[in-house]
């Protein structure tokens, strides 16, 4: 059973640009959550998508957005990049069972903004 | 709001010795608690969870965690540390407030000294 696939693994962007990250969850999983990981802040929750609908959202500015497709693949977009957006972005999939909540994480996309 | 704290940024343990990585939590209602491990350049891997039942939870790679309701703690333990256990460990709690999501602690870096 394939794991969670995130592409690309590494990205370098310039301040002001926009970027799109992709996440393919485990087959059959309908929930995809995104986290931002930085050394100072740890893991910060961005948002969760379930069956193509945003189910939860963290405290990030509107520059951060996402969507989920009918095949459960999810994309995350960051517009007008800032230096502080440099981070490891992790995607986590689950079967959406809120009682037995377990995540499977991808290896992440490391974004560097210069 | 729910929260989780890992009071130690780093823990050093000699190989073969028992290890403990500390975690305390704050929740309203019954806690759903998790431990994850992150190896370099990888995503997080699920170790174990506590939802209900026995206070001692057994997980992957010989790890276990002890749930203590009176002390609001969920410390991760292993009887005999291996050098390969060196990694970043995250404690997490499910926040079932307005937005149902998992909140992570800032992480504890575990160094096992040969």
Say what percent of chain A tops pLDDT 90.
75
> Is residue B38 classed as helix, strand or coil in its secondary structure?
strand
Look up residue A59 and give its DSSP letter. Answer: S
> Is A60 an interface residue toward B (CB < 8 Å)?
no
Terminal CA-CA length for chain B: 41
> Which pLDDT value is given to residue A66?
97
Instruction: Give residue A28's region: left, alpha or beta (phi > 0; psi -120 to 50).
Output: left
Residue with more model confidence, B9 or B29: B9
Phi and psi (nearest 5°) for A3? -85, -160
Mark yes or no for CB contact A103/B107 under 8 Å: no
Tens digits of residue pLDDT in A41-91:
889 999 999 999 998 889 999 999 999 999 999 999 999 999 999 999 999
Tens digits of residue pLDDT in B29-83:
888 899 999 998 788 999 999 988 889 999 999 999 999 999 999 999 999 999 9
Residue with more model confidence, A97 or A103: A103
> Which pLDDT value is given to residue A98?
55
Distance from CA of A105 to the nearest CA of B (A): 5
pLDDT at A102 over 80: no
Question: pLDDT class for B98, splitting at 50, 70, 90?
Answer: low
Mark yes or no for CB contact B99/A103 under 8 Å: no
Q: Parallel, antiparallel, or unpaired: how do β-strands A87-94 and A104-105 relate?
A: antiparallel
Tens digits of residue pLDDT in A13-30:
999 999 999 999 999 889
pLDDT at A99 over 60: no
Distance from CA of A3 to the nearest CA of B (A): 11
Count of Cβ atoms closer than 10 Å to residue A65 Cβ: 17
d(CA A24, CA B102): 20
> Which pLDDT value is given to residue A52?
93
> Which pLDDT value is given to residue A101?
60
The overall average pLDDT reported for chain A is 92
> Which pLDDT value is given to residue B21?
98
B102, B105, B106, best to mutate vs chain A, most A CBs in 10 Å: B102
> Which pLDDT value is given to residue B30?
81
Q: Parallel, antiparallel, or unpaired: how do β-strands B10-14 and B108-113 relate?
A: parallel
């Amino acid at each position: 059973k394939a794991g969670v696939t995130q592409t690309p693994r590494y990205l370098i962007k310039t301040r002001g640009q926009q970027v799109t990250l992709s996440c393919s969850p485990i087959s059959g999983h309908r929930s995809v959550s995104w986290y931002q990981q930085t050394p100072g802040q740890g893991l910060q929750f961005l948002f969760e998508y379930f069956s193509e609908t945003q189910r939860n959202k963290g405290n990030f500015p509107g520059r951060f957005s996402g969507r989920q497709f009918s095949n459960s693949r999810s994309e995350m977009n960051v517009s007008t990049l800032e230096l502080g957006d440099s981070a490891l972005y992790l995607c986590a999939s689950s079967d959406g069972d809120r009682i037995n909540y377990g995540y499977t994480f991808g290896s992440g996309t490391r974004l560097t903004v210069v | 709001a729910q929260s989780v704290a890992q009071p130690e940024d780093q823990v050093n343990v000699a190989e073969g010795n028992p290890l403990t990585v500390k975690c305390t939590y704050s929740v309203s209602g019954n806690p759903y608690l998790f431990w994850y491990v992150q190896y370099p350049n990888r995503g997080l891997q699920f170790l174990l969870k506590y939802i209900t039942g026995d206070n001692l939870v057994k997980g992957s790679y010989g790890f276990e965690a002890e749930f203590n309701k009176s002390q609001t703690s969920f410390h991760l333990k292993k009887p005999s540390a291996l050098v390969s256990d060196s990694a970043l460990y995250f404690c997490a709690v499910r926040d079932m407030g307005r937005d149902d999501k998992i909140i992570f602690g800032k992480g504890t870096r575990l160094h096992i000294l040969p």
